[in-house]
Amino acid sequence: MDKVAAVVLAAGQGKRMRSDIPKVLHRVAGAPLVRHVLDAIEEAGIKEIIVVIGQGAEMVRETLGTDYTYALQEKQLGTGDAVLKALPYLSADCRDVLVVCGDTPLLTADTLVKVIREQQNTGSAAAVLTSIFDDPKGYGRIIRDKDGFVDAIIEDCDATAEQKEIKEINTGTYAFTKKALEDTIHRLNPDNKQGEYYLTDCIHLLREDGQLVTAVIAPAQETKGINDRAQLAAAEKLLRQRECRRLMDAGVTILDPATTYIDKGVRVGRDTVIYPFTFLEGKTEVGPRCTLGPGSRLIDARLGEGVAVQFSIVVDTNIGDHCQIGPYAYLRPGNKLADHVKVGDFVELKKATVGSRSKIPHLSYVGDTIVGEGVNIGAGTITCNYDGVKKYQTVIEDGVFVGSNTNLVAPVRVGKDAVIGAGSTITKDVPSASLAIERNKQTIIPDWKEKKKRKGD
């Protein structure tokens, strides 16, 4: 969108959040509140973005990175003062300015485009984004003239009893011409109960100057800001519903969207089925025809085609096609699984590379390990990778059979097609195609129970 800049108000502390974290950095659907706002602005085609920061300024800057211009509001003197701090950073060729609050994560790009187009196409000095709330308490009220144009915005604490009956509220999103903003913002004064510089007073000043101010009404569920933890949870629910609907529209089956938690931006292939109480977080990507859940959590996971994950946690792991994970498996960061791998119940993997058709069916820990193709690792196998100071690697080559209750003390290599006898503790390399057994000789004492009984007498 040419010659349009966006100013994002992200300087507030958010006292009702009862938090040391700046309000705009509280997370919904896997991202900070302000990140959702910025994504919507960028999707609307706006490239020039100024973020006004104040409370926790460095934390906000560090979280958002260097892609944006930052204006500092050292003292919280109101929205008008915040926008004033951003004006010097507007480019010379900027013609229109979109102002958005950083705590409105439900806004969509389509709505932002509508308010900008309303201001541009009507030739108005400003356009206000409004909503109709059944309970408008706490929000500024929209005062319209006899022709239906916006005449003023009255903050809730300054409104009369009659004005408080108005259901149309100010959402805090505006599109101004740059000239209209510059002409009015320097004339603001803090003559109100809050003692702050209200950006809303620019609307009244524009009307006094004979300028036209129009409005766009948006759905209430899209325009609600976040001021406390309850509203944060409500926004989380709405965004989660959006993500579920997006995936279902793309061909994904979600058995119960109300108990499925999917972060914004997660990608899922068609004909995948997601069972209840499944969490898909971060940059997770799931291929087609997978089965996820119930009761699973995937964080930054990458799954191929036809993968099944049940009652398991998968973190920062690449999983090939047609793998079976769980139930009750824990895949920690850094794993790479080839196709047709089975990781069964109560198995933990960490920085493990597992070749195709290999099986780790149950009750095992495999860490810092390279597992070849066609390997079978028996129940209770442990790769002992840590000596208290340093981590060491285990290598299990193709076709190896590891018997149950085996300890592989790293660094150690088990050669191709070797067999490890059950109950062994392997501390030395095992040659290919050999059998390795490490056990103490079994001792049998006859009539032990009777002897023990007599001794007790």
CATH topology of domain 4-223: Spore Coat Polysaccharide Biosynthesis Protein SpsA; Chain A (3.90.550)
User: Hey, which residues are catalytic here?
Assistant: 362
- Confidence class of residue 26 from pLDDT cuts 50, 70 and 90? very high
**How many CB atoms lie under 10 A from the CB of residue 163?**
16
Cross-strand partners of 150: 144
Tokens of 100: 């958005």
Beta bridge partners of 51: 8, 70
Q: For a pLDDT cut of 90, what percent of the chain falls above it? A: 92
For 244-436, CATH number out of 2.160.10.10, 3.30.70.1140, 3.30.1490.190, 2.30.30.30 equals 2.160.10.10
pLDDT of res. 324: 99
Query: Would you say residue 386 has pLDDT above 80?
Result: yes
What one-letter code names the amino acid at 68? Answer: Y
* CA distances from residue 155 to 164, 171, 222, 319 in whole angstroms, order as listed: 9, 11, 20, 54
* Span 161-185, pLDDT tens digits: 999 999 999 999 999 999 999 999 9
pLDDT of residue 331 exceeding 80, the answer is yes
pTM for this model (two decimals): 0.90
Mean pLDDT of the chain: 96
The pLDDT value given to residue 452 = 73
Evaluate whether 294 touches 314 at the Cβ level (below 8 Å).
no
pLDDT tens-place string over residues 32-76? 999 999 999 999 999 999 999 999 999 999 999 999 999 999 999
Q: What is the mean pLDDT of residues 415-428?
A: 98
Dihedrals phi, psi of 279, to nearest 5 degrees: -115, 125
How many CA atoms within 13 Å lie on the side-chain side of 109?
Answer: 10
- What is the predicted pLDDT for the residue at 182? 96
Cβ contact 303:320 at 8 Å: no
Please give the pLDDT value at position 23: 95
pLDDT over 70 at 457, yes or no: no
Mean pLDDT over residues 268-273, rounded? 99
pLDDT at 375 over 80: yes
Q: Is the pLDDT reported for residue 411 higher than 80?
A: yes
pLDDT confidence of residue 8: 99
Query: Which pLDDT band holds residue 128 (cuts at 50, 70, 90)?
Result: very high
Is pLDDT above 70 for 133? Answer: yes
- Note the pLDDT tens digit of each residue in 284-298: 999 999 999 999 999
pLDDT of the residue at 192: 82
Per-residue pLDDT at 440: 85
- pLDDT above 80: residue 220: yes
Q: In which region does residue 232 sit, left (phi positive, over 0), alpha (psi from -120 to 50) or beta (all else)?
A: alpha
| Same-fold call for 4-223 versus 244-436 | no
More confident residue, 244 or 13: 244
pLDDT for the residue 450:
82
pLDDT of residue 329: 99
- What residue spans define the domains of the chain? 4-223, 244-436
Q: CB–CB of 415/432 below 8 Å?
A: yes
**pLDDT beyond 70 at 456:** no
